[in-house]
Amino acid sequence: MTERSRQTVELAAEGVCLCVEGTTRELQRTGRFAELLRELGACAVAAQPAAVAEAVRNGDAYQAHLSDLASRRVSTGEAVHSLLYEDARAACDKLLPHYRKSAGLCACVFVPLDPYADGRRAVAEASALWWTVDRPNAVVSVHVAHGEGPLVGDLLARGISVDVRSLFTLEQFDRLFEEFLSGLERARDAGCELSGIHFAASVPLRLLDESIAARLGLTARREDWAVAVARLLHHRREQLMDGARWRSLVRAGVRPPHFVWSSHSAPVTEAVHYLEELVAWNSVFSAGPGTLRAVRSRAELRGDSVSGTETCSRQVLSTLHHHGVDLYDLGLELQQTQLKAARAEWTELCEAVEALLRRA
């Protein structure tokens, strides 16, 4: 049996949960999923439509399921949901003992919502996902964009756990935290059990760093801009959790919100650096299986690396203003970029599933 590394144990002690990105049914069938759990402890799992699309096109893990769906003549959209929800249930069940042992602090499964759904349809789709998966450690992953309605608050009010996949600025977090409070207050008033509701906000670190570098016209050395933003977000969370509304919700059993530091697409060395600089309580570090395995042996941890860094982080970001980079505007642009990318991945998955349904 693979032993957990010193780094994995230290991260758990600091309140950091590792999240495996891009899991598929093939990973579960071959036993590699269980191996990852042994290596990384009570980790979380995040499904990615692009990874499922690749597995549908080039593997056989989904063929029997899709053959049954073809016999029933279900639509492509229904088939996509069926695949994702079945994967989510299986992953939730695998992680459920860890979830219960940790009192719900980790071992969640992030399930993507159809990014084309908006308004009332998004709420209805998320509710259907929540009822169908029907596991306490499931979390619905959504994309939000400036000007959209209060989707996060509406889902939380129904007792649905939510992960917002695109957070880039303090202003965006302030708005999300207001939705978080109002949604949970509505859930409390409706008689929901608040301790079973999770809220997370994901920060795509490499995308933020790459976008700032592009604005500055840099191709070589880069500063820790994304790390600075993440550290300030952590500090802002501590400030917002000092208010009367928050304390009232704590008395009702609410859980504190999680940050998910996503190193998606980052080279291993860069991803390990992100982890080393963002060790903070109640946070999740998300990366692909290969990167997380590298963390086991390469990360040089030094305990909490976020507390007390507010002044330094503001200094790092102050130089951006002098060079004409407006983080607020950039954050709005990146939310739209993330939404477009999510829709492209969803379309790719639908096309892969439709092709296999036709051949079945």
Give me the pLDDT at residue 92, please: 94
What's the rounded Cα separation, in Å, for the pair 197 and 8?
26
C-alpha separations of 205 from 44, 50, 88, 246, 281 in Å: 18, 19, 25, 28, 18
Give me the pLDDT at residue 1, please: 38
Question: Per residue in 229-260, pLDDT tens?
Answer: 999 999 999 999 998 999 999 999 999 999 99
Q: How far apart are the first and last CA of the chain?
A: 39
Picking from 44-58, 120-134, 288-302, which range would have the lowest pLDDT averaged per residue? Answer: 288-302
**How open is the CA angle 26-30-35, to the nearest 5 degrees?**
110
Residue 31 has pLDDT above 80, yes or no: no
Residue 258 contacts residue 200 (beta carbons within 8 Å): yes
Residue 354 has pLDDT above 80, yes or no: yes
Supply the pTM of this predicted model: 0.93
Residue 149 has pLDDT above 80, yes or no: no
Confidence of residue 38 (pLDDT cuts 50, 70, 90): confident
Task: Name the residue with higher pLDDT: 296 or 87.
Answer: 87
Residue 314 has pLDDT above 90, yes or no: yes
Residue 344 has pLDDT above 80, yes or no: yes
Q: What is the CA radius of gyration of the chain?
A: 20
- Nearest to 160, CA basis, from 117, 200, 127: 127
Residue 345 contacts residue 50 (beta carbons within 8 Å): yes
